[in-house]
Structure 1
Amino acid sequence: MTCMATTNHFGIALRGWRERVSPGDCGVATDGGRRIPGLRREELARLSGLSVDYVVQLEQGRARHPSAQVVTALARALRLDPAERDHLFRCARLAPPATGNVSRQVPARVHQLVNRLGDNPTAVFAADWTLVGWNGMWSATVGDPRTYGWDEGNLVAAMFRSRGGPAEVPIAAWPVRSWAGDEAEEEDLVADLRVTAAAHPHDGRLASFVDHLRRSNPRFKRLWSNGSARAHVGDRKTIEHPLVGDIDVDLDVLMPAGTDLRVVTYTAGAETTGAEKIDALRAARDASRTSPSRLNSEMPKVG
């Protein structure tokens, strides 16, 4: 339910969800003679451990500042999904509860999104920038990810490999250069990773990953200490392709609603040289169908 433009966002959401939920789903016995759907206020109060009067005050907007414990109890009683629970917290002017570990699951609707983007190089990353899937055009454009050699299949770990001189190891199968420069690209990724770390404070694997980079890489340590926190939304890049030469592309980062996955796609403007080169790679892929594609519900570690 969407908050309306009124002062009592919390009460509107609470009442709507109370009237929506089935009493039977909540373990509430009914006599079959109910004339109004959903839970009664007294039933919601009992399920959430609150007084009936307090539930009335919340719905009417007379109680304005419910605690996190109260909102959690109401969300549990109403069987809210995570997005609705977070909405209720925000309506109470509270931060939603932190989530657990970073998910590497790729929901079916994200599969569908990647399929619709199939003509463009597309990859799916977890919120910590672990690569969890890619399509055939990604392999055709920046090489098979299984050849990248990323530590734990993670882009951030790859970005902070030791650099130095022309013999440095490319991030992908061949060089992919940010127009903004290495420093700006690294800062964008670190700022995005900080957002993920704050959202998943109990993920031990993520905490260990960040701690290792802070101890082992001075560049990462410096960028982590500057406090920048923002989502990485895109970039402009040049792919130094061994067959068709340099390809200038836009990189866009999509975050499908209800997930914290990063869907990364490369596109080139219509009627540009970059578009012509991607078209040539697509034609070669279609002719041979040898470019590997990997997009499963749970991708094995790439590395």
Structure 2
Amino acid sequence: MEQFEFGAAVRQLREGTSPESVGLPVGGRRVRGLRREELGDLAGMSADYVRRLEQGRSHPSAGVVNAIARALRAGRADYERLCALAGYAAASGQVPTDLGPGALRLLERFPDTPMFVSDAAMNLIAVNSAFLSLEHWDLTGDRWDWNVAWRTFCDPFNGFRQSAADATDHEAILVARLRGAVLRYSSDRALAELVDEMRTHSSMFDTLWREPRPVSAYESSATFVHPDGEAVTLVGNLLAIPGDDLAALMLTAAPGSADASRLSEMVGSASGPAVVRVGQSGPG
């Protein structure tokens, strides 16, 4: 019975979620709320799987419940109800930081593509050697040296440049992810301290936290300036790893471009292990 009730709850939330609230276009719609395909894309699953969930023909994992709640930007009450109907306790403890086997395989399988894996609070957990070859991530001695959001809003990199439009998309993504993390891990003190410090140090972050922008796409372009003075422009695509509540960022260059050639040179000169775990004090 609970499986059917879970499906009904997902359908009710999907149909009651406005497209603009999750960063989707509104025009040309014949149904209320989101389509199953749209929820599937946002949550990292197929439309057929969403259909089976709503019809009570499949039991979700805890990761799937979290992914659906994130995709629909469910409030705390709706999130806890989904968890209860699926038979799980709502995630409210510490942000998980374990590099799961799926995330590790992802880093290992793309040795020529700069990638990193971050937790729900946007702390880097691991990077591959191709990412390190960009040599743009300097350490400043701050507590949140390895936090993407902190380094974007409060302590920006010298060798990282974005257009105004790409910066706007990037900032919206980071704020949306942090807001989702606070929803899921309400008792994580380090996460709460991070958000408080960012609101204090960055007026832009504070404004976006109070009035978040819709996320139009989970990608943005940036130029990475190598210490040797040469630059490479790459597009970053954020990939969710729902079961572990992690995310991977993949950086790619336009095929056949000068940036692709330059990136190949950088990656080709990289040395060291294929995957490097990172933390507050640096690689190790």
Q: TM-score range by the shorter chain?
A: 0.5 to 0.7
Measured in 2, the distance between the counterparts of 1:238 and 1:232 equals 18
2:244: which partner in 1?
A: 259
Q: Aligned to 2:62, which of 76, 82, 100?
A: 82
Aligned twin of 2:209 = 224
Q: State the alpha-carbon separation in 2 of the partners of residues 111 and 99 from structure 1.
A: 25
- Within the alignment, does 1:151 sit opposite 2:143 as a pair? yes
SS in 2 for 1:215: helix
Aligned to 2:157: 171
1:135: Cα distance to partner?
A: 1.1
Task: Tell me the amino acid that sits aligned with residue 128 of structure 1.
Answer: A
Question: Normalising to structure 2: TM-score of the pair?
Answer: 0.64
* Rounded Cα–Cα distance in structure 2 between residues aligned with 1:149 and 1:232: 32
Q: Find the aligned partners of 1:119 and 1:179 in 2 and give their Cα distance.
A: 28
Letter in 2 for 1:171: F
Q: Which amino acid aligns with 2:97?
A: R
Superimposed CA distance per residue, residues 132-168 of structure 1 (whole angstroms, 9 cap, x where no aligned partner): 111111111144x463655322121112226xxxxxx
Residue 226 of structure 1 deviates from its aligned partner by: 0.3
Length-normalised TM-score, structure 1: 0.60
Give aligned-pair identity as a percent: 20
The answer (yes or no) to whether the contact 2:169–2:220 under 8 Å persists in 1 is: no
Counterpart CA distance in 2 for 1:147 and 1:301 is 9
Counterparts in 2 of 1:11 and 1:223: CA distance versus 1, 3 Å: closer
Provide the alpha-carbon RMSD of the alignment.
Answer: 3.6
C-alpha displacement of 1:232? 7.0
Residues 178 and 260 from structure 1, CA distance in 2 versus in 1: closer, same or farther, beyond 3 angstroms?
farther
Alpha-carbon distance change, 235 to 84 in structure 1, aligned in 2, over 3 angstroms: closer
Structure 2 CA distance, aligned partners of 1:123 and 1:86?
22
Superposed displacement of residue 230, structure 1: 5.1
Q: How far apart, CA to CA, are the structure 1 residues paired with 2:121 and 2:140?
A: 17
Tell me which amino acid in the other structure corresponds to 1:151.
R
Q: Which has the higher contact order (CA 8 A, sep 6+)?
A: 2
Q: Is the 8 A contact 2:166 2:221 kept in 1?
A: no
Contact 1:195/1:229 (8 A) holds in 2: no
> Which residue of 129, 134, 155 maps to 1:141?
134
Structure 1: which 5+ residue stretches go unaligned? 1-7, 15-74, 163-169
Q: 1:182 to 1:95 in 2, by over 3 A?
A: same
Kindly indicate whether residue 260 of structure 2 is the aligned counterpart of residue 268 of structure 1.
no
Deviation at 1:241, TM superposition (A): 2.3
What is the alpha-carbon distance in structure 1 between the residues aligned to residue 212 and residue 171 of structure 2?
14
Deviation at 1:100, TM superposition (A): 2.1
2:232, 2:221 → 1: CA distance? 11
2:82 corresponds to 1:95: yes
Specify every segment of 5 or more residues in structure 2 that has no aligned partner in the other structure, as ranges.
8-58, 84-89
The residue that corresponds to 1:199 in the other structure is 184
Tell me the residue number matched to 2:120: 127
Retained in 1: the 8 A contact 2:240–2:248?
A: yes
- Residues in 2 aligned to 1:224 and 1:268: alpha-carbon distance in whole angstroms: 31
Amino acid at match of 1:194: R
Give yes or no for the alignment of 1:215 onto 2:177.
no
Letter of the 1:267 partner, please give it: T
Contact map agreement 1:233 1:253 (CA 8 A) in 2? yes
Q: Name the counterpart of 1:63.
A: none
CA distance in 2, matches of 1:176, 1:209: 24
- Structure 1: distance between partners of 2:246 and 2:63: 15
Per-residue deviation, 1:111: 0.7
Q: Is the 8 A contact 2:93 2:188 kept in 1?
A: yes
Tell me the secondary structure at the aligned position of residue 276 of structure 2: coil
Deviation for aligned residue 1:110:
1.1
Matched residue type, 1:301: Q
> What residue number does 1:28 align with?
none
Correspondences of 1:270-289 after superposition (within 5 Å) = 270-285=255-270, 289=271
Q: Distance in 2 between matches of 1:180 and 1:277?
A: 24
Change (3 A) 1:194 1:93: closer
- Counterparts in 2 of 1:232 and 1:209: CA distance versus 1, 3 Å: farther
Please say if residues 135 and 295 of structure 1, whose CA atoms lie closer than 8 Å, have aligned partners that are also in contact.
yes
User: Separation in 2 of the partners of 1:243 and 1:301?
Assistant: 26
Quick one: distance in 1 between partners of 2:247 and 2:257?
Answer: 26
